[in-house]
Amino acid sequence: MDVSDATFQTDVIERSRTVPVVVDFWAAWCGPCRMLGPVLEREVERRDGAVELAKLDVDANPATAQAYRIQGIPAVKAFRDGRMVAEFVGAQPATAVSRFLDGLAPSKAELLVRQGDEASLRQAVELEPDRADAAVPLARMLLRRGQSEEALDVLSHVPGNFAADGLVARIRLEKEGLDGLAPAFAALDLGDYVSALDLLISTIRPTNPRKDSIRRVVVGILDELGPDDPRVPDWRRRMTSVLY
């Protein structure tokens, strides 16, 4: 919906006491605004009314733009319970917009991911095929059942994700029949990251023609463990030392 200086208090502030409202501060002459607008609309629509989108033309409504200190556009501000709770400036990719909205109201796919069972993950992937937190665990379930081709198909819709890329590399390595990696993958499936990573890193030698694929597997595992795991920096250093 379009809002103005006159309607902002009612349509945004008061409305946000019932449902989160995201305001897109834009202008007709702004190229990045035209890029971001459809992304915002699509991601909000995915949330089935759990969050609402309002658009305010800063040229036509200078009072509100000044009140919220809008200095660059597009500027997006989220309101909940009558106050601003989050914001960002500039055009953002759909994944970033989705994460921003998830912090306000989870999408249907996000709720399905939280359930974590295979049926829910399949529904989440149908709704949002590029959602890594649904595709990666689903692909792992499929791989455990030997459905590697279906797992690869699920992961093919998640470009640019380290965990997904690492799992794809693992599947392809297993297809090549590299028995020397079997103990590492077995340890990984048991949740023994120490043994799995020690074994994998030990095989990343400059002369190993598979070193890049193994590196991708390791990077994917480290990405899933996350920066808060105190062991990750050491594993990264060790991998770098054997690569170079």
Sign of the torsion formed by the C-alpha atoms of 122, 41, 98 and 92? positive
Give the pLDDT of residue 168.
96
Say what the pLDDT of residue 169 is.
Answer: 95
CA distance 92 to 114: 25
At residue 215, the pLDDT reads 92
pLDDT at 10: 93
Q: What is the pLDDT of residue 207?
A: 83
Q: How far is CA 229 from CA 34, 173, 194, 214, in A?
A: 40, 26, 12, 21
Choosing from 12, 21, 30, 221, the catalytic residue is 30
The single residue of 33, 70, 73, 109 carrying the catalytic annotation is 33
Contact partners, residue 159, CB within 8 Å, separation at least 6:
130
What is the structure's pLDDT at 147?
A: 95
**Which pLDDT belongs to residue 71?**
87
Express each pLDDT in 150-200 by its tens digit.
999 999 999 889 999 999 999 999 988 777 889 999 999 999 999 999 999
Q: Are strands 52-57 and 21-26 parallel, antiparallel or unpaired?
A: parallel
**Per residue in 61-120, pLDDT tens?**
999 999 988 888 899 999 988 889 889 998 988 889 988 888 887 778 888 998 999 999
Order the strands of the 52-57 sheet from edge to edge: 52-57, 21-26, 75-80, 83-89
Looking at residue 11, its amino acid is: D
pLDDT in tens, 19-69: 899 999 999 999 999 999 999 999 998 888 888 999 999 999 999 999 988
Q: Is 152 a catalytic residue?
A: no
Peptide bond between residue 183 and the one before it cis (omega within 30 degrees of 0):
no
Coil, strand, or helix at residue 220? helix
pLDDT of residue 208: 84
* pLDDT at residue 244 is higher than 80: no
Protein fold of 8-102:
Glutaredoxin (3.40.30)
pLDDT at 17 over 80: yes
What is the per-residue pLDDT for 103?
82
User: Which run of H or of E encompasses 56?
Assistant: strand 52-57
Q: What is the pLDDT of residues 213-242, one digit of tens each?
A: 999 999 999 999 988 889 999 999 998 888
Residue 243 has pLDDT above 80, yes or no: no
Residue 202 near residue 239 (C-beta atoms within 8 A)? no
Does residue 141 register a pLDDT over 90?
yes
Q: Residue for token digits 């595992």?
A: 221
Q: What is the pLDDT of residue 220?
A: 94
Half-sphere exposure of 235 (CA within 13 A, CB side): 24
pLDDT at 6 over 90: yes
| Residue 33 annotated as catalytic | yes
pLDDT at 118: 96
